[in-house]
Homo-oligomer: A and B are copies of this chain.
Amino acid sequence: MELTFLGTSASTPTVFRSLPAIALRLDEGSTILFDCGEGTQRQMMRCGTSFMNVDKIFISHFHCDHHLGLSGLLQTMNINSRENQIDIYGPEGIEELVKNILKTGYFKLGFDLMVHTLKDCDRVSRGNYSVECRENNHCKNSLAFAIEEKPRRGKFYVEKAKNLGIPPGPLYRRLQEGETIVLNGKRIEPNMVLGPPRKGRKVCYSGDTAYCENVIELARESDVLIHDSTFSDDMKEEAGKFGHSTATDAAKVAKAAKAKKLFLFHISPRYNHAKVLENEAKKIFENSTVAEDFMKYRIRYKD
């Protein structure tokens, strides 16, 4: 799994930050987009992230900066002869948004586009992963998302296998794949050489939100939490007024959720040097980083 930050600004772009969009490349090869601000297709081109591999797009809410890139992206997929279906997910209103986009775009798609309306606690289960959503604390019809891989097989204990007299080779693989084998007339079950199933990797994206208990629940023990961090502490009041978080809020959520890594995201254009936000967050949650456009982050298995 690899994250690419395609746009990290808030409300308006800046010279260095494009509007919100995050690509998550899955091991199976497809890419999920979280939000799709204006300019997303070009940001993908600029950092070599294939837009043709995108097969699911999750839109957190309907403020302009989070979805204006959809129309151009769909159009460019079309020009490039896309045939595979694309699925767009979002809170109530997503159908109307997509309808308007197709109307304003003056084009006909040559591939299927499915729109899915999500509400609090909905879970989308696909292939090897699921995406859960929770209402956050920003505006009406605004969601946070968490994608989590299904549990994977437990660890293979070579010593246990050796003690059972299993020779290294194809039998190891069969046991790892969950098959019971018979060796010298003895049945060997996978659980005799495997540890318990291990949790899959988990990434949570808060969307735009003020500090929110739902996001803490959703982000529980995630490998990565990408959280609204529009302002620094000196703009605490402004943040609350507009349903946004400070870097401190984001760090508190990461700490309470026991996340492993926090990316501060949705940075107000007022911060030319966003390290001030990172420094604030680090006081509460050490593993904090300000997301920058084109930053990539590989999410590895921890065990």
Contact = CB atoms under 8 A, between A and B. Distances in A.
B100 A46 contact: no
Contact of A15 (B15, B46, B97): B46
Interface residues of A, number: 33
A104 interface: yes
A45 interface: yes
Contacts of A11: 76, 79
Contacts of A100: 100, 103-104
A289 interface: no
Interface string A41-77: 1100110000000000000001111001101100110
A18 interface: yes
Contacts of A88: none
Contacts of A38: 38-39, 41-42, 68-69, 71-72
A100 B99 CA distance: 10
A103 B103 CA distance: 11
A42 B17 CA distance: 9
A185 B76 CA distance: 74
A197 interface: no
Contacts of A103: 100
Contacts of A97: 104
A43 B65 CA distance: 16
In the A-B complex, the 3 residue pairs with the closest CB atoms:
A100-B104, A13-B42, A38-B72
28 contacts: A11-B79, A12-B76, A12-B79, A13-B41, A13-B42, A13-B72, A15-B42, A18-B42, A19-B72, A38-B39, A38-B41, A38-B68, A38-B71, A63-B106, A64-B71, A64-B72, A64-B105, A64-B106, A64-B107, A65-B75, A68-B68, A68-B71, A68-B105, A97-B104, A100-B103, A100-B104, A101-B104, A104-B104
